[in-house]
Structure 1
Amino acid sequence: MKILRNTPRIALIGECMIELQQRADGSLQQSFGGDTLNTAVYLSRALDDKAQVDYVTALGDDSFSDAMCHIWRSEGIGLDLVQRLPGRLPGLYCIQTDANGERRFLYWRNEAAVRDCFTTPAAEPILAALPDYDVLYFSGITLAVLGMQGRARLIKTLSEARQRDARIVFDNNYRPRLWASVDEARAAYRSVLPYVDLALLTVDDEQALFGFGDCAEVFATYAQIGTPEVVLKRGAEACLIRCDGEAFEVPAQKVDKVVDTTAAGDSFSAAYLARRLLGGTPAEAAQAGHELASRVIQVPGALISR
């Protein structure tokens, strides 16, 4: 993944929510999380001063939003592209995990401020600035929460960014409950995929959304779209990679006990992208992704301590 500047500027677009982790005794531990935000934190840690990592979202003017911004700043994440909307609140979700560490999510996010992220007057300078970044990163959840109008503005931004040699990174993260129908979701995904340079895909999500029969069908479809680098994440199994016509298979790292799989894919994506931006090969990047994800799933919650 060739970047023109020595210190790339990376903007991740999406939603951070109030996170509640339900413990075995029924008590709740409060923190913050969201797929692209999780990736932003791990990416900022991995790249440190070798890149500028900014987050693009909309929050409220409440104390939870204040706390989010404080944490992001402490992680080295830039806040210049974060809107604060008066009277609004961030979304909220609760993580429930079973004995095997598998997750179940409960969401309260219909009125979250991020739904107006690209529709406010304050969004205009942000949208104008994004095409000048070296890397734009977003997910399927980003597509869902932005809504139809926000997605249209995102697509315009992606087109302009590609014309200025930016690299577009997409994590599929398909969540059916965020969409009115599977047809709406498919149309939204297909509208952005032609702009994507690096697709970080979860096999289960691709099968649920597009009905692919196997990994070969996934790769064949993305080859037709023209995506130069595709990574298929398969949980505890080896990930599969196709990059510029070459194929790689990189085994996952085994752990003795899985505590919580929250942010496993997000952390993998962060470490993979970081290693690629630092000049690593796809195979080296996947090894870094597996290593970080193996540590994340042994700790409750989305973000492990430094």
Structure 2
Amino acid sequence: MNPHPRIALIGECMIELQHRADGSLQQSFGGDTLNTAVYLRRELGASSTVDYVTALGDDRFSDAMCQQWATEGLGLDRVQRLPGRLPGLYCIQTDAQGERKFLYWRNEAAVRDCFTTPGAEPVLAALPTYDVLYFSGITLAILGEVGRVRLLAALVEARQRGARVVFDNNYRARLWASVEAAREAYQQVLALVDMALLTEDDERALFGYADSEQVLAAYPGIEEVVLKRGADDCLIRCGGERFAVPARVVEQVVDTTAAGDSFSAAYLASRLRGGSPQEAALAGHRLASQVIQVSGALIPRG
């Protein structure tokens, strides 16, 4: 295993507005693969290269995103800046019972053309040179059909060169024209995945699986399958063996945002350092338990 892996995470970061009780809005940034990228970089430290692959506009919000990512040590060479375009935006509203509602403005986001612009050619050519490629179901949705085809071609070449493909299923029904379209896209990608980091609730929503056993049985060709189940044990199938690793007990959960993203980051980091699946899951639970005790996706750096 490469002691200094080069990792590319592909996806979208958005402008986040949090609607407060007094009517004001608190602005930050958020996105599933971006959260994972930041936590992965923190976990691995200087022993690796972690690049983020996306497209942004030429506005001040996009400038601020890049500045924040650079501060976290992420590589920005694969970030396209498209003139006249903007990032997507979403707003979080919380009701009296603490339930959160998300409102999205992302149809014209720059990232939707991430793999269709002339500037995408060198990015796509570079993807197969990485040791690890990581993306999510949200990545698949926002890239659109043409972008997905080009991503799939890059994944095929990357695996031929010895890269590992890691996929987090993050299924969001609102991003797809139909559940059938989503299933087709997922099935095409899952045939090229080496490590699947799956949330059980998303698997049930997308494919209708009844329980954990059906999920694990659905992917016999994937080398390493990790089934995230919230506060319950995570289940792992790797190398012909099965493991169940208990989650950490957290007395007071403040915010579950990025719980799964942070678990995935710590799990992958541990495996890249040579840790066993059990050790990796414990690392994932450790980081996720810290994240859910703090408001927001990214906890302050210690």
Q: 1:234 to 1:137 in 2, by over 3 A?
A: same
Residue of structure 1 equivalent to 2:7: 10
Whether the 8 Å CA contact 2:263–2:285 is kept in 1: the answer is: yes
Uncovered stretches (5+) of structure 2, i.e. residues with no partner: none
Find the residue that maps to 1:18 and give its secondary structure. Answer: strand
Map 1:93-172 → 2, pairs under 5 A: 93-97=90-94, 103-172=100-169
1:298 equivalenced with 2:293 (yes/no): yes
Does the CA-based 8 Å contact 1:101-1:261 persist in structure 2? no
- In the aligned structure 1, how far is the partner of 2:23 from the partner of 2:271? 41
Amino acid at match of 1:242: R
Establish whether residue 49 from structure 1 lines up as the match of residue 14 from structure 2. no
Q: What residue is the counterpart of 2:269 in the other structure?
A: 274
1:97: how far off? 4.1
Q: Which has the larger displacement, 292-301 or 79-88?
A: 292-301
* Superposed displacement of residue 50, structure 1: 0.9
1: CA distance, partners of 2:100 / 2:235: 24
Matched residue, 1:250: 245
Provide the C-alpha distance between the structure 1 equivalents of 2:247 and 2:75, rounded to a whole number of angstroms: 32
**CA distance in structure 2 between the partners assigned to 1:113 and 1:301 by the alignment:** 24
Question: How many corresponding residue pairs?
Answer: 301
Shift of 1:95: 2.3
Are residue 70 (structure 1) and residue 67 (structure 2) matched? Answer: yes
Cα distance in 2 for residues equivalent to 1:98 and 1:117 = 35
2:280 aligns to what? 285
Moved more, 9-18 or 252-261: 252-261
Q: Which residue of 1 aligns with 2:222?
A: 227
Given candidates 178, 191, 198, the residue that maps to 2:195 is: 198
| Range with bigger deviation, 23-32 or 108-117 | 23-32
For residues 185-227 of structure 1, the C-alpha deviation after alignment (integer angstroms, 9 at most, x for no partner) is 000000110110110000000000001011111111111xx00
SS at match of 2:37: helix
Determine helix, strand or coil for the equivalent of 1:222. coil
Alignment RMSD: 1.2
The CA distance in 1 between the partners of 2:37 and 2:99, in whole Å, is 23
TM-score by length of 2: 0.97
Q: TM-score, normalized by length of structure 1?
A: 0.96
Could you tell me which amino acid in structure 2 is paired with residue 229 of structure 1? E
CA deviation string 1:103-131 (max 9, x = no partner): 43211100000000000000000100110
Give the SS at the match of 1:301: coil
Distance 1:182 1:103 in 2: 23
Q: Deviations over 1:239-287 (max 9, x none)?
A: 1111111111111111121111111100000000000101111111111
Q: Which runs of 5+ in 1 are unaligned?
A: none
**Is contact 2:170-2:198 (8 Å) kept?**
yes
Conserved in 1, the CA contact under 8 Å of 2:166 and 2:194? yes
